[in-house]
Chain A
């Protein structure tokens, strides 16, 4: 230590001028799942950011090549694990596109309703988590309580709260339960009540608005070039929703609005998400009204669908059918196909390559939040550290999907 009474001229004082490296994550309460951001800081301003993902990489695509087509359903569930039903539906649609079959109408409505319920969960938790990271813990708990209502519905229908693996190629694992429509009709308004309560706490809050407005702006062209889709793209002003642009299942019979933002900042993303929750509730209502109460859920093709169990034990034909589908897998015709749906985060694409046998040759999951997280670097450069939290939160990066 230098003696304090020495005269130091000003010019000799050295202030550190290199930027400081700060590591956020991967084990970090605000790094949704596991993302590591290596920040180069000058004071609190971020000069450079390096977003590193891959901590939740589990080798889906490799594992998909080692089983049959139907065995991929548990894998895709665990991709976007906050809205697993949307992944199931997306994958089932992709394989059905390659097979050239369409599921019966009742199944299409069923898939729409379950998918939209999952989307509700996804949006609520995203908003809730973002608020919690900003310090507003209560809305998160309200939204989590609302999610419980939806999870009760799922538990009744599929048997599991989170990763259902309920979709099947050519239908669903089992038909809707007896009081399906009543449960959903009773549950969704209660969910909306919770949403309203949560929003009331947030939307007039000065601190909340200041932290979100004008922060993390993504211009329209950049968003498109980066491959952004879903809510984050719509918040930047591009009215692209796969359900509207390329309707699949029965979305062309539903009336719903697509919320579009203006500036592309965190606030727009948050509000788009909230508005989509309400639109999703509309879709659910219409789907329930239009859904037939009777009719088959699975298509009637022995090459794709498993036979009823009582027949398997008593007739040789059903045994053979069961045997072939389980042991050898569904024989999808050789070729490749890209099929996409609107998942919670945007365009979830499946690029499937088949060689004609029951085992996939290549199953590529195009995760929407992989493209979204790619833009994070651009968003946070120039912001302050505390701005990283709502920016990242509003992107809704799901670790399982991003890292697959």
Chain B
């Protein structure tokens, strides 16, 4: 494998890698602002300058400079090597790069940092980026001095509304152009550009347009400083109070890997951030997915419902037991509805209850209706786990809800046990059909058609409140970590299934999530496969 040396350490590189990319792969951090692994190279911040030693036998490229001599108290001519931006320089085998070990590089970094902070407003107390801001981190690491300019800083527009989701602050902007490149290259909608020159530079939206494509929140994500802020997250929470859980976005079947940032003290989720995954979503997420963190708290069922009235979970289970009393007489009159919105573990538990214990033969699958997709990240199937449900159920494949409603009209079923709240078809139709049945029990986290139509509702946990496995449209099973503690009386759906099964008189043995996962096949629980979703896949799971 061809290697280069950085600070004396040999690291391998692949064909076409730049120095900074090879270092990024090896875990070495060369400070940078404008480079991003998913965007083209701009090389305008000059923070990633490194010293590349000349090939053996050749002299180094030196520049004539004037250096301050403290003894003579005057500038004296000197020479220093020309530093190379590591984001642009392609690796060549045997290249020797000095990053931290070169004093010229240290001086350069301090100088770049000083210039970047020259006109920067004193906004840290009100800036959302504080705590995750590159300017702060690099100042402490590389500069550590004050600036030498004594004049008034340049004032630029602050709080410019770019669009429905993004607010721009020109004074904080360092014109790294990451946002410009992102909207042009990844979102394929070149609506941002740079205006003016020199220290009057600012980012503007094309005249007559707004920043309104489907990936606007990514511009905020790539912005290394607090210039672009999301109106959704602005002033809501300080990042050092937030913990991050590694979850999977529930917006569509792409299954982008995400971080759910939540405040553990008040148990509220505050935002999503994309997690890097080359195979699934690279470095990005769509706006819909970014804002879908709200589903953990909005529209939630917090306790059971019996006949539309709120009841405690225990009461609801009791009522379910009564309603489903005639279940065992004729298993063929039971329809089980799985949910493409719920994790493999939940669906597996319901499958087991249906197949093994009740002996039902007919399975259906519910989920959100199809939506808009695009070629970048969004898929039309807005359910995160369609393939997972299909895989678990095997054959015969579960049928769509439309078939269920037809069958109910034909008088085939008396009982429905359902998971999930959303259905793809007309809700009025569904409600009237379902309400005619003897027993309809739904386990769901949110309010929805199946919930309104059901006689008994049990409150389930949302994805953020329990560990779960989701299989995306590519067939990769990914694990989502638990972030929040369950709200209200909600319990994980697999646990509700187990309790329901107990009420009905079946000996459901799964007591912990680990039990459920052990009962599932290895592909279903994301332990095998090319891209086991957890970063530390392969480590034994912590059993409860």
Contact = CB atoms under 8 A, between A and B. Distances in A.
Tell whether A pairs with B: yes
Interface of A: 302-303, 311, 313-321, 323-324, 327-328
Contact of B120 (A316, A318, A324, A328): A316
A327 B124 CA distance: 12
Interface string B123-134: 111000011000
A317 B124 contact: no
Contact of B136 (A313, A315, A318, A323): A323
B146 A323 contact: no
B140 A316 contact: no
A318 B139 contact: no
Interface centre among A303, A320, A327 (most CB of B within 10 A): A320
Contact of B146 (A318, A327, A328): A318
B408 interface: no
Contacts of A315: 122, 146-147
A302 B124 contact: no
13 contacts: A302-B140, A311-B146, A313-B122, A315-B146, A316-B124, A317-B139, A317-B145, A317-B147, A320-B124, A320-B135, A321-B140, A323-B130, A327-B130
B147 A303 contact: no
Given A327-B131, A327-B240, A303 B144 contact: yes
B269 to A, nearest CB: 22
A197 B338 CA distance: 90
Given A303-B140, A317-B147, 16 more contacts: A302-B144, A311-B146, A313-B122, A314-B122, A315-B122, A315-B147, A316-B117, A319-B124, A319-B125, A320-B135, A320-B136, A320-B140, A323-B130, A324-B139, A324-B140, A328-B240
Nearest to B117: A316
Nearest to A325: B140
Interface string B406-423: 000000000000000000
Contacts of A316: 117, 120-124, 147
Interface string B278-315: 00000000000000000000000000000000000000
B379 interface: no
Contacts of B124: 316, 319-320, 323
Given A303-B140, A323-B124, A317 B146 contact: yes
A324 B131 CA distance: 8
Interface residues of B, number: 19
Nearest to B120: A316
Contacts of A319: 122, 124-125
A299 to B, nearest CB: 13
A316 B117 CA distance: 7
B193 interface: no
Contacts of A302: 140, 144-145
A323 B147 CA distance: 17
B146 A320 contact: no
Contacts of A303: 140, 144
A319 B120 CA distance: 11
Which 4 interchain pairs have the tightest Cβ spacing? A302-B144, A316-B120, A319-B124, A320-B136
B115 to A, nearest CB: 12
Contacts of B144: 302-303, 321
B122 to A, nearest CB: 5
Contacts of A328: 240
A314 B143 CA distance: 18
Contacts of B123: 316
A212 B107 CA distance: 68
Contacts, number: 47
Given A323-B124, A323-B130, A317 B136 contact: no
A108 B135 CA distance: 35
A329 B147 CA distance: 23
A311 B150 CA distance: 13
Interface in B99-124: 117, 120-124
Contacts of B117: 316-317, 320
A328 to B, nearest CB: 8
A20 to B, nearest CB: 52
B541 to A, nearest CB: 25
Nearest to B137: A324
Nearest to A312: B122
Nearest to B238: A327
A321 B122 CA distance: 12
Nearest to B149: A315
A311 B122 CA distance: 11
Nearest to B118: A316
Contacts of A320: 117, 124, 135-136, 139-140
Interface centre among B117, B122, B125 (most CB of A within 10 A): B122
Contacts of B131: 327
A321 B146 CA distance: 10
A311 B144 CA distance: 14
Interface string B465-500: 000000000000000000000000000000000000
Interface centre among B135, B140, B145 (most CB of A within 10 A): B140
A313 B123 CA distance: 10
Given A323-B124, A323-B136, A317 B130 contact: no
Contacts of B135: 320
B127 to A, nearest CB: 10
Contacts of B120: 316
A303 B140 CA distance: 7
A193 B107 CA distance: 60
A35 B146 CA distance: 53
Nearest to A302: B144
B335 to A, nearest CB: 52
A308 B136 CA distance: 18
A323 B130 CA distance: 8
Interface string B228-248: 000000000000100000000
A318 B145 CA distance: 9
B125 to A, nearest CB: 8
Nearest to B133: A320
Contacts of B143: 317
A316 B129 CA distance: 14
Contacts of B147: 315-317
Interface in B57-80: none
A117 B131 CA distance: 41
B154 to A, nearest CB: 13
B41 to A, nearest CB: 28
A317 B121 CA distance: 10
Contacts of A318: 146
A311 B146 CA distance: 10
A139 to B, nearest CB: 52
Nearest to A322: B124
Contacts of B140: 302-303, 320-321, 324
B323 to A, nearest CB: 50
Nearest to A317: B146
B230 to A, nearest CB: 21
Contacts of B121: 316
B123 to A, nearest CB: 8
A113 to B, nearest CB: 31
Nearest to A315: B146
A356 B225 CA distance: 25
B21 to A, nearest CB: 26
A318 B124 CA distance: 11
Nearest to B172: A316
Given A313-B122, A316-B121, A324 B136 contact: yes
A323 B133 CA distance: 11
A317 B136 CA distance: 8
A318 B144 CA distance: 9
B441 to A, nearest CB: 45
Contacts of A314: 122
Nearest to B143: A317
B112 to A, nearest CB: 14
Interface string B166-198: 000000000000000000000000000000000
B203 to A, nearest CB: 20
A380 to B, nearest CB: 48
Contacts of B136: 320, 323-324
